[in-house]
Amino acid sequence: DVKVTQSSRYLVKRTGEKVFLECVQDMDHENMFWYRQDPGLGLRLIYFSYDVKMKEKGDIPEGYSVSREKKERFSLILESASTNQTSMYLCASSPTGQGAFDYGYTFGSGTRLTVV
């Protein structure tokens, strides 16, 4: 079964810490995405990557950065965590073009991050 795996299910960090959220996919997908999910706001795109070492800002990139050194791995970095970054973070991957339509996105189970 194809998978997107997020390294942590729950995470508690202190304000000001540097936080790494890891995501790995085993489907050889070109595209990878980081979303945050908040009640009443749905899913908001933080960053996405369409190839190794390529990245583009999504709708809410402030306070975040990303790294994609290998095709299967896409990391989200909170440079200095703040309490307003407490949220559920979802990673997703997809193939390009028609494949993205046919198969949709594959999502990980999410990381619930609490910043105290």
Partner 1 sequence: GNSVTQMEGPVTLSEEAFLTINCTYTATGYPSLFWYVQYPGEGLQLLLKATKADDKGSNKGFEATYRKETTSFHLEKGSVQVSDSAVYFCALWMDSSYKLIFGSGTRLLVRP
Q: Among residues 20 and 103, whose Cβ is nearest to partner 1?
A: 103
* Residue 114, Ramachandran bin (φ over 0: left; ψ between -120 and 50: alpha; else beta): beta
Touching partner 1, residues 20-49 (CB under 8 A): 31, 33, 35, 40-43, 45, 48
Q: Are 40 and 87 in contact (CB under 8 A)?
A: no
Least Å distance between CB 67 and partner 1? Answer: 18
Q: CA nearest 71: which of 88, 92, 51, 100?
A: 51
* Distance of alpha carbon 93 from alpha carbon 25, whole angstroms: 7
Looking at 50, 60, 65, 71, which residue binds partner 1 (CB under 8 A)? 50
Cβ 24 to partner 1 shortest distance, Å? 14
Q: Which CB sits closer to partner 1, 5 or 82? A: 5
The verdict on 4 binding partner 1 (CB under 8 A) reads yes
Judge whether 44 and 60 are in contact, CB under 8 Å. Answer: yes
Helical segments of the chain, H only: 98-103
Residues that bind partner 1 (CB under 8 A): 4, 31, 33, 35, 40-43, 45, 48, 50, 56, 58, 90, 92, 94, 96, 100-101, 103-105, 107-110
